[in-house]
Structure 1
Amino acid sequence: MHIGLGLPVDDPDVLLDWARRADAGPFRTLALLDRLVWHNPEPLVTLGVLAGATTRIRLQTEVLLAPLRSTALLGAQAATLDRLSGGRFTLGLGLGGRADDLAAAGIPARGLGARLDGQIDRLRAQFGGPVGDEGPAGARIGPEPATPGGPEILFGAFHEKALARIARAGDGLICAAAPSWAGGLIGTLRRQWAEAGREGRPRIVGQLNVALGADAPAARESLGAYYAFTGTPERMVAGLVTEAPALRSGIRAFEDLGADEVVLYCWSTDPDQVERLAETVGGAH
């Protein structure tokens, strides 16, 4: 099973250092969260910069809030990032739904699911070639991706309807649920995937929130502030993994569920976390 690294969102200035260290380590993927009304760096711009600073590691949005964005522009940006990174990009998408994000983007809260469904169909068509209804005949929007058919598309999902979207049009699940809850989501998706007549199995990417060592108090504060909008941020803070044995246990739990990868989201900005986490996970990548 692969191990990815989720980048901290509180200090964009350290992310080049994080990326270069991670590229030299055992990690398969660099991932970045998305939120509009916050001080986090914009994911596609940031991953574009990090693509030029790395050579091996994959780049992933986890998850990009697609309904906040123009579909045509999103497709051009994703294809560009995939092309310039040599096919190292995975497009992780989700609905979002925070009222402040939606207000800032001028997007109504109703109909987000239908909007995302339409965006996925359009993105697939756009990645595949000319879409035929804009510009001159035969023109495409954005460059041809390096990955045939466009970058892998994963979805963050917690409910059966969202899992059905993956079975219909996605390549896999980004599972932010704790392993104790994740098993039910993964089982439901695999059933829906088979019922939809899809070949193979959906890709499963788990998540763990982490901060090892003395950085844990500041990481708890950061995590709590980020999830304050939920009204119960203490639930997220309680799940922060701060010790190596608990981290290894969480990774094993996802491995037992058949996950393909686990992304370790770090809530400390200290780049030395990269080496601490690498030492803990060993040579897996």
Structure 2
Amino acid sequence: MNVGIGLPVDDPAALLSWARRADAGPFSTLGLLDRLVYHNPEPLVALAVLAGATSRIRLQTEVLLAPLRGTALLAKQAATLDRLSEGRLVLGLGIGGRADDHQVTGVDLRARGRRLDQQMAVMRRLWSGEPYGDGVGPIGPAPFRPGGPEVLFGGFKPAALARVARWGDGFLAAAAPSWAGGLFDTVRAGWAEHGREGEPRLVAQVNVALGPQELIDEARASMYAYYAFTGMPERMVAGMLTTPGEIRGALAAFDGLGADEVMLYCYGRDPRQVDRLADLL
């Protein structure tokens, strides 16, 4: 089972240090979340910079809110980053749920799931080199990975889980092992029902902070602020893992569920967490 690092968003300038440390360590992937009405860096721009600062580690959006973006431009951006990173892009996609993000883009919050399905049909076609349609030709460049970058879908509802087999390569579960097991089973069943070959790639995510109490307090405050829109940020913060034993236990649990990778998502800014997490692996 691979282990990746989810990057903090409070200090974009620090991400280069995080990325270089992770690239030199045992980690498989760098992950970066997405919001629009927030102070986080735009993930595709940020990951493009990190691609140039690294050589082997994968670059994952976790998750990119595709319905907020124009479809043709998103397809071109993803193909470009996949090409320049030599296939290291993993496009984690979701629909989001923040009203303000949708308000500022003029996207109907109620139609975001249907919009994502429509976007995937277009992007898969463009990444395969086919014309856009209606007299409009292909939109390049051709991605490094035939058919486009690897696509993971995040979410919890049936429509989100079914989307994995229809359009994706795997599933991103931001859930505790006690909940993720059932989600994994549903995704596997949908994969088989659609006649897909092989197995879906299953990626889990856990929130961690490893270091002195000052760092843990900072991480909890950052996570609280990020999830304040839910009305129950305390619940999210309570699930943060802050000791080597807790983190090892979660990794073992996800390994038992058949996860292919676990992303250790960090909210504290200190890049020395990369080295601490590497040591416990």
TM-score category of the 2 structures, normalised to the smaller one: over 0.9
Q: Could you list the structure 1 runs, at least 4 aligned residues long, displaced by more than 2 angstroms after superposition.
A: 132-136
Q: Which residue is 2:276 aligned to?
A: 276
Match of 1:150 among 143, 148, 151: 148
Residue 83 of structure 1 pairs with residue 96 of structure 2: no
What stretches of structure 1 of length at least 5 have no aligned partner? none
Match of 2:161 among 154, 160, 163: 163
- After superposition, residues 230-249 of structure 1 pair within 5 angstroms as 230-249=230-249
Secondary structure of 1:74 counterpart: helix
Q: Which residue is 2:182 aligned to?
A: 184
1:89 deviation in Å? 0.6
- Between Structure 1 and Structure 2, how many residues are aligned? 279
Distance in 2 (CA, whole Å) between partners of 1:97 and 1:234 is: 18
**Paired residues of 2:125 and 2:132 also in contact (CA < 8 A):** no
Q: Which amino acid aligns with 2:270?
A: D
Q: Which residue is 1:227 aligned to?
A: 227
**Paired residues of 1:176 and 1:207 also in contact (CA < 8 A):** yes
Q: Which residue is 2:261 aligned to?
A: 261
Distance in 1 (CA, whole Å) between partners of 2:235 and 2:217 is: 15
**Paired residues of 1:75 and 1:126 also in contact (CA < 8 A):** yes
Identity %, equivalent residues: 64
Q: What is the CA deviation profile of residues 235-255 of structure 1, one whole-angstrom value per residue up to 9, with x for unaligned ones?
A: 110000110000000011111
- After superposition, residues 1-285 of structure 1 pair within 5 angstroms as 1-133=1-133, 139-214=137-212, 215-281=215-281
Q: Which amino acid aligns with 1:224?
A: Y
**Paired residues of 1:12 and 1:41 also in contact (CA < 8 A):** yes
TM-score (norm. length: structure 2): 0.97
Q: Which amino acid aligns with 1:195?
A: E
**Paired residues of 2:152 and 2:172 also in contact (CA < 8 A):** yes
**Paired residues of 1:93 and 1:155 also in contact (CA < 8 A):** yes
**Paired residues of 1:208 and 1:262 also in contact (CA < 8 A):** yes
Q: Which amino acid aligns with 2:236?
A: M
Distance in 1 (CA, whole Å) between partners of 2:58 and 2:110 is: 34
1:82 deviation in Å? 0.3
**Paired residues of 1:77 and 1:142 also in contact (CA < 8 A):** no
RMSD: 1.0
TM-score (norm. length: structure 1): 0.96
1:199 deviation in Å? 1.1
Distance in 2 (CA, whole Å) between partners of 1:159 and 1:256 is: 23
Q: Which amino acid aligns with 1:125?
A: R
What stretches of structure 2 of length at least 5 have no aligned partner? none
**Paired residues of 2:208 and 2:240 also in contact (CA < 8 A):** yes
Distance in 2 (CA, whole Å) between partners of 1:55 and 1:71 is: 29
Distance in 2 (CA, whole Å) between partners of 1:43 and 1:132 is: 25
